[in-house]
Structure 1
Amino acid sequence: MCVRKSARFYQTQYGLLLVCLLWIGILFAQSPDTVSTAKSDTGNIAVWLDVNGAIGPAMQDYIQRGLSRAAERRAQVIILQIDTPGGLDVSMRKIIQEIIASPVPVVSFVAPGGARAASAGTYILYASHIAAMAPATNLGAATPVKMNTLASQPEVPDSQPKGEQPDKSDRQDAMTVKVINDAVAYIRGLAQMRGRNADWAEQAVREGVSLTAAEALDKNVIDLVADDVSDLLARIDGRTVDLSGEKVKLSTRSLALERIEQDWRTRLLAVVADPNIAYILMLIGFYGLVLEFTTPGTIVAGVVGAISLLLALFAFQVLPINYAGLALILLGITFMLAEALLPGVGALGIGGIAAFVIGSIMLIDTEVPDYGISIPLIATFTLMSAGFFMLVFGMVLKSRKKPVVSGSEELVHSTGEVLESFDQEGWVRVHGERWRARTNTPLSPGQRIKVTAMRGLLLEVEPCQPDHTMNATEN
């Protein structure tokens, strides 16, 4: 019965793994891109990419593949419709590199009304061949996010003598100055390349100022204001842009619009690269591998743990990770595991919880919106981790030290009764079951025996000692 149950257990696990693999195969078999309009003649199209959301690894992958698709289709122009609060500096710079190297003119269009191109979006707008905005949109606030703490510092009263007022540069550490100056030089370079207002670009970085669409047009930050994409195509028709040192005149009035949507791969990458999801995957990976190593044969725990940990490592590769925070999380898990193995006064457990919480807070080294780990999520997994390692895992380890109470292993050292006289092989009763037994000592019916070993379905027995016989209970 035990064998059949074990077989069903493994069959269930293999079935679950097969379903997962089939599902992944179906996803990879889908088309790589989703185009929302009917195919037009190659070369007579405008490709439309929807940059809606934070600038991160997923958005970077989507834009890169969209620019490549536009080049393959020999599109006349690429439209990036932008609505973003900003994003990661690394992803932003890679997108800008793709725009500058693009063989197809790129038009960044902040739309629809109410949209914004804040922070990283401003840099992308400056890097584009043509920059446009819809009414009731804004851009700016391009200060590196970690530098915003400078704005919260108390100001010195004007009544204080000028000579006693501390210089603002004295309040900025060397790293702050380097980051701001690097960002200023970068955006000024983009502005000079495209012939746009470099002074306001520097102001947007140093002071975090923003502009409306009309103000941006008046200050030569953008090239035009358009109501929608159709109006945009009409307004840029006949304009000349500098494409890798070559002057190119645009003819866009009669172009067919081909919109490339974010496909399942982009959405999947966006999910995996989300710091909260990456954090959960990392912990699932750790727990799964620990469970597999402590209880070999689980299989599903090991497979799920390994896959989750690899996905988490992939996400950490593209996220701004603080490795000191990651080391603290591992140290916390180690301490909580040690508390389960070596229960004492709780110092290891308390230290493990503290290290786990501090490491989780430090893990993502950025203050960019939508790129932090939720505090409630950290609290939840801290409690779950503490419970898992110090309670559940401790109970599992203690149960492994208890004597076996079922199965063939439990028969060894058990006592029984001889059913017939024999001096080599015969029949005995152990736990109410008839077993074939072998002995080196002659035995008689009713005599108490002890099982010393088990060879297949044959028990090796020996007579119980007198003190054992007196204390033995009838089975």
Structure 2
Amino acid sequence: MMSTRSLSRRRVVFWLSLACLLLGSLAAWQSTAQQERGTALMMTLDGAIGPATSDYFMRGLEIAEEDGAELVVVQMDTPGGLDAAMRDMISAMLSSEVPVAFYVSPGGARAASAGTYLLYASHVAAMAPATHLGSATPVQIGGGGGLPGIGEPETPSDEGDGEAQDGKDKSGDSASEEGAGSEPGDTAEAPASEPDKRRGETAMERKVLEDAVAYIRSLANRHGRNADWAEAAVREAVNLTAREALEQNVIDVLATDLDDLLAQIDGREVVMADGTLTLATADLAVERFDPDWRTRLLEVITNPNVAYFLMIIGFYGLIFELSNPGSLVPGTIGIICLLLALFAFQVLPVNYAGLALILVGLGLIVGEALMPSFGILGMGGIVAFVIGSVMLMDADTLNISLPLIGGIALVAAGLMLWIMTRFLGLRRRPARTGQEELLGNEAQVLEDFQGEGHVRLHGERWNARSRRPLNRGQVVRVVGIDGLTVEVEPEDGSS
């Protein structure tokens, strides 16, 4: 009987062990199959391109290289952004060990201005239906700052061109105008032969424009894309729809979704830093890398309005701390805000003349508070503050909100008016110095006396004189001063 039970137990243990072995083998096989399948890292670029975007993109490339990803896919919808951030992203992409596909998606998205450069620099350029790209003219040509950014590009300067080019989107910023592309063939021919090409009016504008043209043509030639249309996008701010971009060899793929994109580029050869690479994307597993708290924080701090407000709070925090030493809270908040503002200004295109005017203006306003000048310093400070605030951001892509500037200026003006009112009120009061300040103050009788005795006034022992008898502890009021003797009367007017 015992042997039968023992045999049954052995059988149970055997079958359980076999089942565990099979399950372990299956899990290992699935893990190996997934590793052999490979992965594609999916990123999202939505909004203006700035320092936070650049940091997010380069961290994504590092993760892709560390994990051995086969491909990085960036889903993009951008109106443009800062030139420095865009060039950092392109440099990282060109030297990346992992191919990068930029995919303008979903429908209604755009790759305007800096987005066009990124699309040309990518190893695979793809767009979804009902999207567009273009308007890559440096906005500095229009009087702005950063290259290339979000702005209102100028129209071609040659008024002798009477041929209308249908569908060219001169603004480059309206994502709702999905049909804003030019007709196929309108701009594909070399624009260098056209008499109305943009060359810039000043030497600096020409340098900026020619630099942008050479840059985007080099990117186009590297990946075998339409360099002539790229030049037209820079010189004339032309645009193309997704279908037209595919027909004119501006992009590589027109894909309805991510799966369609991966299927179409499977087997495609791309140019890498160390040669060519054949993509194997048919069965890639997609892993997402979304913006984390660090990226979100950088986006908030590098917002020009936030950086500007942090600078103001930091400045006034330090002023309050210096005027009230030991309070600690204003100084701590001020230092933190000022450091965050300085970090933001380090990565933003700041006009340092504007920053200097802001600091001078704030200094004059503080000077008005410490040394009233009937509004001369205060008014000069407000004017310098407003002008400096408007000049602060050296780019059309990033501007300080005028309502924010106006609100802070009004607060400063209100503070100045309050200081002036207080100062004028003090000037109208009769001058009272020394012993005259004691008149009308209360004192306490130290002993019973009639005629002369002693009282305590402001914590000090004074000689006192009274025409009425006074009792110890009685409250009296000072009505006159004779040298070091005060004349007092009972508070209630009687003895």
TM-score (norm 2): 0.72
Deviations 1:214-248 (A, max 9, x none): 11111111111100111111111111222223222
Aligned residues of 2:349 and 2:395 also touching (Cα < 8 A): yes
Q: Does 1:257 align with 2:289?
A: no
Closer/same/farther in 2, CA of residues 246 and 473 from structure 1, 3 Å limit? farther
Identity among equivalent pairs (%): 53
Aligned residues of 2:156 and 2:236 also touching (Cα < 8 A): no
Q: What letter is aligned with 1:286? A: F
Aligned residues of 1:43 and 1:75 also touching (Cα < 8 A): no
Aligned residues of 1:336 and 1:390 also touching (Cα < 8 A): no
Closer/same/farther in 2, CA of residues 270 and 185 from structure 1, 3 Å limit? same
1:144 corresponds, among 138, 142, 159, to 138
- SS of match in other structure, 2:101: strand
Aligned residues of 1:340 and 1:390 also touching (Cα < 8 A): no
Show structure 1 runs of 5+ residues with no match: 1-39, 160-165, 403-409, 422-426, 440-444, 449-463
Distance in 1, matches of 2:154 and 2:137, equals 11
In the TM superposition, what is the alpha-carbon distance from 1:156 to its structure 2 partner? Answer: 4.4
Aligned to 1:30: none
Closer/same/farther in 2, CA of residues 393 and 66 from structure 1, 3 Å limit? farther
In the TM superposition, what is the alpha-carbon distance from 1:93 to its structure 2 partner? Answer: 0.1
Aligned to 1:130: 124
Q: Does 1:89 align with 2:106?
A: no
Distance in 2, matches of 1:148 and 1:206, equals 12
In the TM superposition, what is the alpha-carbon distance from 1:344 to its structure 2 partner? Answer: 3.0
In the TM superposition, what is the alpha-carbon distance from 1:465 to its structure 2 partner? Answer: 5.9
Aligned residues of 1:48 and 1:260 also touching (Cα < 8 A): yes
Aligned to 2:405: 378
Distance in 2, matches of 1:473 and 1:308, equals 57
TM-score (norm 1): 0.74
- SS of match in other structure, 1:469: strand
Aligned residues of 1:281 and 1:311 also touching (Cα < 8 A): yes
In the TM superposition, what is the alpha-carbon distance from 1:354 to its structure 2 partner? Answer: 1.1
Aligned to 1:346: 375
Aligned residues of 1:417 and 1:447 also touching (Cα < 8 A): no
Aligned residues of 1:42 and 1:74 also touching (Cα < 8 A): no
Distance in 2, matches of 1:108 and 1:325, equals 37
Aligned to 2:172: none
In the TM superposition, what is the alpha-carbon distance from 1:301 to its structure 2 partner? Answer: 1.0
Q: What letter is aligned with 1:197? A: N
Closer/same/farther in 2, CA of residues 346 and 126 from structure 1, 3 Å limit? same
Q: Does 1:469 align with 2:486?
A: yes
Alignment map for 1:36-435 (pairs within 5 Å):
41=35, 44-148=38-142, 151=154, 156=159, 172-368=201-397, 371-389=398-416, 391=418, 416-417=443-444, 419=446
- SS of match in other structure, 2:240: strand
Distance in 1, matches of 2:247 and 2:444, equals 104
Aligned residues of 2:350 and 2:393 also touching (Cα < 8 A): yes
Distance in 2, matches of 1:116 and 1:76, equals 26
Distance in 2, matches of 1:419 and 1:230, equals 98
Runs of 4+ residues deviating >4 angstroms: 40-43, 152-159, 166-171, 392-396, 414-418, 427-431, 445-448, 464-467, 471-475
Aligned residues of 1:51 and 1:84 also touching (Cα < 8 A): yes
Higher Rg: 2
- SS of match in other structure, 1:191: helix
Deviations 1:63-100 (A, max 9, x none): 01111111111100000111000000000000001101
Q: What letter is aligned with 2:269? A: T
Show structure 2 runs of 5+ residues with no match: 1-33, 144-152, 163-194, 430-436, 449-453, 463-468, 473-480
- SS of match in other structure, 1:151: coil
Closer/same/farther in 2, CA of residues 270 and 171 from structure 1, 3 Å limit? closer
Closer/same/farther in 2, CA of residues 121 and 473 from structure 1, 3 Å limit? farther
In the TM superposition, what is the alpha-carbon distance from 1:103 to its structure 2 partner? Answer: 0.6
Aligned residues of 2:197 and 2:236 also touching (Cα < 8 A): no
Closer/same/farther in 2, CA of residues 197 and 41 from structure 1, 3 Å limit? same
Aligned residues of 1:339 and 1:390 also touching (Cα < 8 A): no
In the TM superposition, what is the alpha-carbon distance from 1:154 to its structure 2 partner? Answer: 7.2
Deviations 1:112-147 (A, max 9, x none): 111000111111111111111111111111001122
- SS of match in other structure, 1:261: coil
In the TM superposition, what is the alpha-carbon distance from 1:296 to its structure 2 partner? Answer: 1.8
In the TM superposition, what is the alpha-carbon distance from 1:350 to its structure 2 partner? Answer: 1.8
Q: What letter is aligned with 1:112? A: P
Deviations 1:130-180 (A, max 9, x none): 111111111111001122367268764689xxxxxx998897011100000
Alignment map for 1:11-50 (pairs within 5 Å):
41=35, 44-50=38-44
